[in-house]
Copies of this chain bind each other. A is one copy, B any other.
Amino acid sequence: MAANSQFSMAVHVLTVLARHEGEKIKSEKIACSVNTNPVVIRRLLGQLAQAELVESQTGAAGGTQLGRSPDQITLAEVYGAVSCGEVFALHGKPPDRNCPVGRNIEAVLCNLQKQIDRSVAETLSRHTLQSVLEVIEQEKP
């Protein structure tokens, strides 16, 4: 249980919500589909709510629903809501400033990170929750 599967979970969660547009879904029901603990789902929903992708209601008969229609939510937004935006990590300890490479490599890597992030965002922005939902419904065996 180490690798960062938050994006996978987020897409899963949102797809479940998309299949029941208009309804308020309980975290327990979502957790069942994802096969995890309701608290894990609620934590994730918190992040998605901050990005205004979902809206939750407390109290009895509470639950969560999408903040917009599925064709208005791109996977790039989902990724942005749950990821730190770093495909690879920079150096842990700072490199040796006496070495020309050590002195300047971080700027190069930082720049690369931004380029990759843009390219990932562009790829993901070609998919909406609606398009994911269509694949899911269609592939139902």
Point out residues on A near B: beta carbons under 8 Å.
1, 3-9, 11-12, 15-16, 19, 32-36, 75, 79, 83, 86-96, 99-105, 107-109, 112, 115-116, 119-120, 122-124, 127, 132, 135-137, 139-141
Contact = CB atoms under 8 A, between A and B. Distances in A.
A18 to B, nearest CB: 9
Contacts of A5: 88-92
Contact of A8 (B7, B79, B88, B100): B88
B4 A99 contact: no
A33 B104 CA distance: 11
B34 A95 contact: yes
Contact of A100 (B7, B9, B19, B88): B19
A138 to B, nearest CB: 9
Q: Considering residues A79, A100, A122, A132, which has the most beta carbons from chain B within 10 angstroms of its beta carbon?
A: A100
A96 B140 contact: no
Given A34-B102, A91-B5, A95-B35, A11 B109 contact: yes
Contacts of A109: 8, 11
